[in-house]
Structure 1
Amino acid sequence: MTLPNGCSINTDALDQNADTQVLLEKDAVPPQCCSARLNLAILMFFGFSVVYGLRVNLSVAMVAMVNATDPGGGTNATADPACPFPAGQENGSRALRQPDGTPQYPWDSETQGWLLGSFFFGYLLTQIPGGYLAGHYGGKVFLGLGVFGTAVLTLLTPVAAGLGSHWLFALRALEGFGEGVTFPAMMAMWARWAPPLERSRLITLSGSGASFGAFLALPLTGYICEKLGWPAVFYLCGGAGCLWFVFWCALVSDDPRTHRRISKEESDYIINSIGAQGKRHGWSLPLLSMLLSVPLWTIIISQMCSNWSYYTLLTSLPTYMNDILHFDLQSNGFLSSLPYLGSFPVSVLSGVAADWLIERKVFSITNVRKIFTFLGLLLPAVFLIAVCYAGCSHILTVTFLTLSTSVGGISAAGVYVNQIDIAPRYAGFLLGVTNTFGTIPGVVAPIVTGYFTEDHTLAGWRKVFWVAAGINIGGAVIYTMFGSGEIQAWAVEDEERDEAERKSSRSTLT
C-alpha cells in the first residue's frame, strides 16, 4: 500500500529503506507462539467471549422468562403452529419446566423486541468517546472496565426483571453503555501492538471471541434455565466476567514498551515495524477530513449493512426456533449456537489467509479487503434467501441459517479490519465511529422483527430474512465500488511526512 510519494505503511515511519526491510524478513520476526502479542490476542478473545455471552443470554432466557400460558401473546402463545413439531416432539408439552418459584412475565412480542434491542441504546453512546479516550490514554483500562462493568450489571438482571420491563430495559441499556468502549479500545491497543503484516490474524483472533462466546452462551443458557432457572444464567455469566477482569489487570499492558514480560527482540520488532503510527494521538483530531473521507463512509455503510443480518439472527434466532420450528429450549439453544460455531473458525482462518495474501503480495491490501468483504456479505445473503424457500424443513432451515452466519465470518478480514489500514493512529476512534453507526441495526432490527412477526407466522419471518439479505447485498456492492486499504493523507502527521520524504530522498541518492 503506497502513498503518493511512494512510501509504504508496512514499514517504519512510512519508509521502505533497507534497514526496515530487514526487520520484516521472516528470519528476523519473533515467533508468535507464546509471544506477548499472541497472549494479548488470547486474553481479548476470552474477554469478548464473556461480553458476547452477556449480550446474547437474554435471547434464550427470554423464552423461559415469558409466561407460556399468557393470553396476551407471549413467545410461546401460538395457537396455530406455523410449522409441524420436530420428530419426537409432536405430543410433547411446549411449556418450559423450571424450578418451582422461578418467576415468569406476561411480555408480548413487541415488548420482547424492545427488550432485546435495549442493550444497543446504551451501546451507541460510548463507542466514539471510548475510542477517542482509548486512542489518547491507551485501551487497557477502557476494555477491562467495559467488560467488568457489564458483568456486574448482569448480576442485577433478575432484580430488574422483577421490578418490571421498564427497569430491565434501563439495565440492559446501561450494560450496553459500559460495553460500548470495548471494541474501540481493542483497536486502539492493536494500533500499538499489531505489526502490519500480522494485523488481520491478530485482530480477527481477538474479535472472534464474540462468535465463540455466542456459541457457548446460547446452549448453556437453555440448559441452565431448565436445570437451575433463568436467574442463574445471569449470576453465572456475570461471575465469569468478574473472573476474567482479574487476569486482564494482571497480565496486560497498553504498550510493548511497558510490558513486564515481553522479550526485547519482540518489543523491538513490534515498535520498529509499526513505527510512528503506533504513537498515541493528541487531543485534536482531523475531524473535517474524516467527515469528508469516502473510504471511511464506505466502511460505515458496509458495516451497517453487514450488522443488520448479524444482529437480526443474534437477537431473534432463538425466538424463531421456538415460535416457528418449535424446538424445546435445550434444542433451541444448541441449534441457535451452531451459526456462531461456524463463524469462529471462518473468521480466524480469513485473517490468516488475508495476511498471507498481503505478505506475499498476491493482492494489494485494498483488493484483499474488498474480496473478503464482498464474499462475507454476499454469501450470507444467498443463504438467508434460501431459508425463505426452505419452508418448514427443520434440517434445511437450520443448515442454511448456520451457513449464513458462518460464511459471514469471512468479512472479519475485510471491512472490520479496515480502520487500522486507512488510519492506524486513529484506529480506535474510527472503530468507535463505524461501530456507532454499525450498532444502529442492533437497535432497529429486533424492533422491526417484532413488528413483522407479531402474528408468529412463517410469512412474517420471510420478510425478516428478505430484508436482511437485500441490505447485505447492498453493502457488498458499495464496499466493492468505494472501499480502500490505503492510508489516508489526513492520518499522516506533518513531521512523519517530512521525515518519510527525507528518507526517500536519501535512499534515491544512494
Structure 2
Amino acid sequence: MDEKPSTRKGPGFCSLRYGLAVIMHFSNFTMITQRVSLSIAIIAMVNSTEEHNMSNVSTEEPLTDAFNNPSRSIKEFNTGASVYEWSPETQGIIFSSINYGIILTLIPSGYLAGIFGAKHILGTGLLISSLLTLFTPLAANFGVILVIVIRTIQGMAQGMAWTGQFTIWAKWAPPLERSKLTTIAGSGVAFGSFIILCVGGLICQALGWPFIFYIFGDIGCVCCFLWFVVIYDDPMHHPCISVREKEHIVSSLAQQPSSPRRSVPIKAMVRCLPLWAIFMGFFSHFWCTIIITYLPTYINSVLQLTERDTSGVLSSLPFIAASSCTILGGQLADFLLSRSLLRLITVRKLFSSLGLLLPSLCAVTLPFVTSSYMTTIVLLILIPGTSNLCDSGFIINTLDIAPRYSSFLMGISRGFGLIAGIISSTATGFLISQNSESGWRNVFFLSAAVNMFGLVFYLKFGQAKIQDWAKEENLTRL
C-alpha cells in the first residue's frame, strides 16, 4: 500500500514555497531561452547583412524553423557573403555541443546537489550559463572553436541547473502539492520556448543579433540574484518563512527521510523495477518529442505548405498548449490527492497514461488526415500539450519512491531521455529519407509503439511508496 499523505491544510498560493516555484519557473525560462538563442541568432550571424541592419530577414519567416531545423533556415536566408563562414556541418557541431555538455553533468550534478545542497549547485550553474551567454558574441569573433567550447561548458552548467531542482522539492513540497509546485516550475521551459521563438527574430532585426544574447544573458543574471537571495535548501533555515508554513511543510514530510546521504545504493537501484519503470517512461516521453522537432518539415513535405503559412501557429500554439497542460495537470493531480479521490500511485499512473496514450493516438491519426490542414494543425498542437501531462506522472515519481536520491535519479532519467532523443532523431531521418509519405507514417507508428511500451512497463511495475533502500533506517548499511 502507498503511504497516505496528510490531508492537513496549509498556507495557500500566497506562501513562500509557491514563490520558490515561480522563481524556479523563470530560472527554467532563462535556461531554455539561453539554449535556443544561438539557433535564432545564427540566421543573422551567417547572413550577409550588417549586425544592426537586418532588413533582409523578414520577421514573418520561420522562427520555429530556426529552432527546429537551423541548417535549412540558414540556406533560405543566406543570399550573400557570410558574416561568419560556418558551414552547415560546423553549425551542426555548434548546436550539438550544448547537448553533450548537458549529458556530462546530468548525473554528477544531481549527486552533488543532494550532498552540498541545490541552492549553490543550481545557482552556480545558472550564473555560469548566463555569463557565457553574454560572452558568446565576443567569442564568435575569436573563432568557431571558442564558440563550441563555450557552448559545451554552458551545457555542463545547465546540466547542473536542470537536475538539482528535485533536491529542493524533496524538502519544500508537501506530498499533496508536489504536482502543482513542480509543474509551475517546469512550465517555464515551454513558456521560454514560446517567448524566444516569438521575439528572437524581432530582436535580431531591430537591434542586431548580439542583443539576443545580451538580453537573455542579463535576464539570467537577474534570476541568479533572486535565486541566491530567496532560495534556501530547506524551510528550516529560511529567514522569511512564516511559522505556520514551516510547521505545515515539516509535518507533511515527517515520514520522509531527510538526513544527507553519504553513499548511493547503486546495486539496489539497478534491481529496482519501479525505478526502471520511471526510466522507461522518460525514454518513451522524450522519444515522442522528436515529432515537434520535425513539425516544419512535416508541414512542408506532406501538406505542401510554406513556413510563411504556418510559422505563427508553429512558433506559439504548441508551446502554449504544453505550458497550459503542464500547470493544469499539476493542479488536477493534487486536487485528486487532496480530496482523497484517488491513491497516489493511481494518480501517477493516470497522468502517465494520459501523457503517453493521448499523443500516441494523435500521432497515429496524423497520416489519415493529411487532406485537412486544420485537423493536422490541431493534432500537432495536441501532441506536445497532452504529452506534458506526464509531468504529474512518472516524471516526479522519484520524489515518491526515493526523495533522498531524487536529484541523482532525475539526472539518470534525463539521460535516458537524451538517449531516446538521439535514437529517435536518427530513426526519423532514416525513415523519411526512404519515402516521404510512408516514412512519416512509420515515424508516427514507431513513436506510438515506443510510447505504448513505456506505458505498459510503467503500469506494470510503477510504484509510489518509498523503496526500502531509500529509507532512513537503511542509511548506515549503504
The TM-score, its normalising length taken from structure 2, stands at 0.83
Say if 2:179 and 2:392, in contact at 8 Å, map to a contact too: yes
1:215: how far off? 1.5
Corresponding position of 2:35: 55
SS at match of 1:127: helix
**Residues 450-459 or 369-378, more deviating:** 450-459
The CA deviation string for residues 68-93 of structure 1, in whole angstroms up to 9 with x for no partner, is: 9xxxxxxx9xxxxxxxxxxxxxxxxx
Assess if the C-alpha contact under 8 Å between 1:125 and 1:436 holds in 2. Answer: no
- Cα RMSD for the two superposed structures: 3.3
Equivalent in the alignment of 2:333 = 354
Q: Distance in 2 between matches of 1:62 and 1:332?
A: 18
| Aligned positions of 1:68-147 closer than 5 A | 95-96=76-77, 103=83, 107-108=87-88, 114-147=93-126
- Residue matched to 2:456: 477
- Residue 26 of structure 2 corresponds to which residue in structure 1? 46
CA–CA distance in structure 1, aligned partners of residues 461 and 232 of structure 2: 36
What is the aligned partner in structure 2 of residue 25 from structure 1?
8
Taking structure 1 as reference, are residues 385 and 203 closer, same or farther at Cα in structure 2, changes over 3 Å only?
same
8 Å CA contact 1:59, 1:318 repeated in 2: no
The 5-angstrom pairing of residues 413-432 of structure 1 reads 413-432=392-411
Number of residue-to-residue matches in the alignment: 449
Is the contact between residue 401 and residue 467 of structure 2 (CA under 8 Å) also seen in structure 1?
yes
- Mapped to 1, the partners of 2:135 and 2:106 lie a distance apart of 23
Q: Which residue of 2 aligns with 1:376?
A: 355
SS at match of 2:307: coil
Q: 1:239 to 1:419 in 2, by over 3 A?
A: same
- For 2:31, the aligned partner's letter is V
Matched-pair contact (CA < 8 Å) for 1:113–1:446: no
Contact preservation (8 Å) 1:387, 1:400: yes
Contact 1:122 1:175 survives alignment (8 Å) = yes
Kindly indicate whether the alpha-carbon contact (under 8 Å) linking 1:137 and 1:280 is maintained by their aligned counterparts in 2.
no
> What amino acid sits opposite 2:28 in the alignment?
F
For 1:179, the aligned partner's letter is Q
One-letter amino acid matched to 1:283: R
Q: Aligned equivalents of 2:147 and 2:434: distance in 1? A: 24
Q: Is the 8 A contact 2:261 2:404 kept in 1?
A: no
TM-score (norm 1): 0.78
- Confirm or deny that 1:253 pairs with 2:232: yes
* C-alpha distance 177-495 of structure 1, shift in aligned 2 (>3 A): closer
- Structure 1 distance, partners of 2:144, 2:368, is 36
2:60 maps to none
Comparing 158-167 and 130-139, the one that deviates more: 158-167
Choose which of 289, 306, 319 in structure 2 pairs with 1:340: 319
**Which sits farther off after the overlay, 55-64 or 372-381?**
55-64
Structure 2 CA distance for partners of 1:419 and 1:385, relative to 1, 3 Å: same
Aligned: 1:262 with 2:257: no
Is residue 366 of structure 1 aligned with residue 345 of structure 2? yes
Cα distance in structure 1, aligned partners of 2:446 and 2:196: 27
Matches of 2:214 and 2:161, distance apart in 1: 21
**Structure 2 CA distance for aligned equivalents of residues 163 and 456 of structure 1:** 42
Deviates more, 1:257-266 or 1:230-239: 230-239
Contact 2:33 2:216 in 1 (8 A): yes
Change beyond 3 A, Cα 1:231–1:47: same
Q: Which runs of 5 or more structure 2 residues have no equivalent in the other structure? A: 49-56, 58-74
Task: Determine which of 5, 8, 13 is the counterpart of 1:10.
Answer: 5
Does 2:173 match 1:194? yes
Partner residue of 2:191 out of 212, 219, 227: 212
Aligned residue in 2 for 1:385? 364
Closer, same or farther: CA 134–106 of 1 in aligned 2, 3 Å: closer
